[in-house]
Structure 1
Amino acid sequence: MDIRDNLKQRLIGAVVLLLIGIAFFPLVFNAAGYEERKLESRIPAAPEVARVVQTEMPPPVKIEQTPVAPVTETPVVSAPVAEITESLEALRPSLNPAEEAPTLDADQVPAAWALQLASFRQESNARELRARLIDAGYRVYIRHGEDVVRVFVGPEMQRGRLEELKLLLQQEYGLEGMIVRFTTQ
């Protein structure tokens, strides 16, 4: 019975392989290559190039050069020195970097400061204030608390800059801010 079972298994295996071959034969040998070779070209023939015979050449164009007068004087532009000096003075930092050097906290991380301007219960109000301040050129961000949304300006490494900014924003927007330690959370 071992020989019969073995023969039976071989015949069943051969039939299964034959059925698989019949199923995959059309997929592999579908004559697609034969059809590709029989395709006609749809590329149009090259157009004929008409040749124009020119019998007479046009006269050459003459370009006249006009002499440029030499520059005898160097133009001098006078700048208003007083206005430039005032502008530079306005841009000069009013802080002394030696006095306002960034401090390190207990973890040896530089301490940064932010100016908390307002707290709102409605986020839309905070976003509106943030948009107005960003349009005015300030660096502004929002933090969400438990029941409030806070609007901050900063951060700055020098607390003195925020003190000046606090006065400026109080004059421009009427906002009483408070300087707080900047955190990333």
Structure 2
Amino acid sequence: MDTKLRQRVVGAGVLTALAIIILPMLLDGTSDDRARVMATIPEPPTIELKKLSMEGALRRMREMEQESAAQLPELLPDFTPYDKTTAADENVSAGKKSGAIDLTLDKNSLPVSWSLQLGSFQDPKNAQRLRQQLRDAEYRTYIIRVLTADDNTETFRVYIGPMLKKNQLEAIAEEVRVKFKITGQIVRYRLEDDGGQLGG
């Protein structure tokens, strides 16, 4: 083999060996960086949870009940002689004198009452406008939102009432017809319908 070729092969081998040793150090960073990456992560600390017992909580509740009971005022007995029959008679006669209303009760023991339906609108703003006009005229009004069974559309109905006496509502219906040119319909007021009431 030629001497020059041998020197070139040996030189290439030495350079390759140096490259294998030196390049990883240059590309991977310093040995400190490698040591930092290899650092071990400590174990997570153990957290001691305080055990709560139900007995302690129940004991504390009993103590609080006793403390609050001790702070209540004593009940004083009522030594006033009281005749139930005469008191009931007085209440009945006082009710008759003050013009108490005879109530008709429905099957749920609720008083039968009536409302005057004045309009049914698809736009809630129209219903609110009519309600405000009636309130400005000092009528007690409300709006109920109803879903029609036919096509499941939403309508807003304006009412005056409710009132216990139907004849009072008939007089109001005539007033409204004259003042506002609206003919209303007297309907039975049902408490179940209040769920659809529109506030305001």
TM-score range for the pair, normalised by the shorter chain length: 0.3 to 0.5
What's the TM-score once normalised by structure 2's chain length?
Answer: 0.42
Structure 1 or 2, whichever has the larger Rg, is 2
**TM-score under structure 1 length normalisation:** 0.45
